Structure 1
């Protein structure tokens, strides 16, 4: 019997495991890779939801960057599952963005990518990777010039 390939979104969810206290590197992509967050004011709405998730003890942000068409978030999971955390951040930020833009419709692509950080991986190295995205993309010459990032070590 032939094996039917799963759509990419389902493959990303296969085998996903949420564990409180574990650190994850999460990536979410804007619908159709639209450079929505080139407008930093819209990106700040996403940043607000990341901070709110921390205030509600759902997760502890270690580092994050909102790029023009995606989000990277290094996070320690606390009082939520990965799916619950990402659903909350994406849905609340989408509602806020649509309200500000006076639009309706999708803001984020379905699903997200997650990587459970292994003990031997350096958190500071991963955090530097996350916050250096704007440098690698050629958006700025110094990370301090990019408005949409944060890390607990800096």
Structure 2
């Protein structure tokens, strides 16, 4: 049976998830996280893809990516990320074979409200998984940048919804932090999870 085509919309953000093969660990040590982020930083402009958010968990990744006019750029960036990370980990661990489970999953984000909600969903992943009590305590997510806590992630693109939160960086970081720590509407997480699974 042929695979269903993936829906990718030009100039729209997408929630992208890729898991380790058989849910195996993909990021075992700090060097693994850093290498993946370096690849993302290096090739996002090459493929004309904006990166609005991310969270690297031990066995999967969440990304908020927006392709430009050429929608193929999103797939090409994901292929580059997966290939380079696989070769890096295989070299480090003297292993061979695949690192990732099949194809990545993606879901277009079509409303402005949903974009901020999706970023919150991604950045709260470590809290939901019991890996951190606070998103600020987890170093491998874009919350560090959006909350004004880590200048190393200044290469992230600023999405228009985040930008509209205030006239200054201080206003934006304060309002976004309040949004992340605030009450989450019932059903929001299930909606986002189901969308990316489809």
Q: Where does residue 66 of structure 2 map in the other structure?
A: 76
Further displaced range: 56-65 or 116-125: 116-125
Q: Where does residue 54 of structure 1 map in the other structure?
A: 44
Q: Where does residue 153 of structure 1 map in the other structure?
A: 146
Q: Where does residue 80 of structure 2 map in the other structure?
A: 88
For residues 40 and 111 of structure 1, the distance between their equivalents in structure 2, rounded to whole angstroms, comes to 25
Gaps of 5+ in 1: 1-5
**Offset at 1:108?**
0.7
Bigger proportion of residues as helix = 2
What's the TM-score once normalised by structure 1's chain length? 0.81
**2:9 matched to 1:19?**
yes
Greater relative CO, 1 or 2 (CA 8 Å, sep 6+): 1
For residues 78 and 47 of structure 2, the distance between their equivalents in structure 1, rounded to whole angstroms, comes to 14
Q: Where does residue 3 of structure 1 map in the other structure?
A: none
Gaps of 5+ in 2: 148-198
SS in 2 for 1:76: strand
Further displaced range: 111-120 or 61-70: 111-120
What aligned pairs does 1:1-154 form with structure 2 within 5 A after superposition? 6=1, 10=3, 14-78=4-68, 81=72, 82-119=74-111, 121-151=113-143, 153-154=146-147
Further displaced range: 95-104 or 65-74: 95-104
For residues 91 and 105 of structure 1, the distance between their equivalents in structure 2, rounded to whole angstroms, comes to 11
Bigger proportion of residues as strand = 1
**Contact 1:47-1:148 at 8 Å conserved across structures:** no
**Contact 1:66-1:148 at 8 Å conserved across structures:** yes
Query: How many residues are paired up?
Result: 144
- Runs ≥4 in structure 1, deviation > 4 angstroms? none
CA-based RMSD of the aligned residues comes to 2.1
What's the TM-score once normalised by structure 2's chain length? 0.65
SS in 2 for 1:115: strand
For residues 153 and 20 of structure 1, the distance between their equivalents in structure 2, rounded to whole angstroms, comes to 24
**Contact 1:45-1:93 at 8 Å conserved across structures:** yes
**Offset at 1:57?**
4.7
Further displaced range: 29-38 or 77-86: 77-86
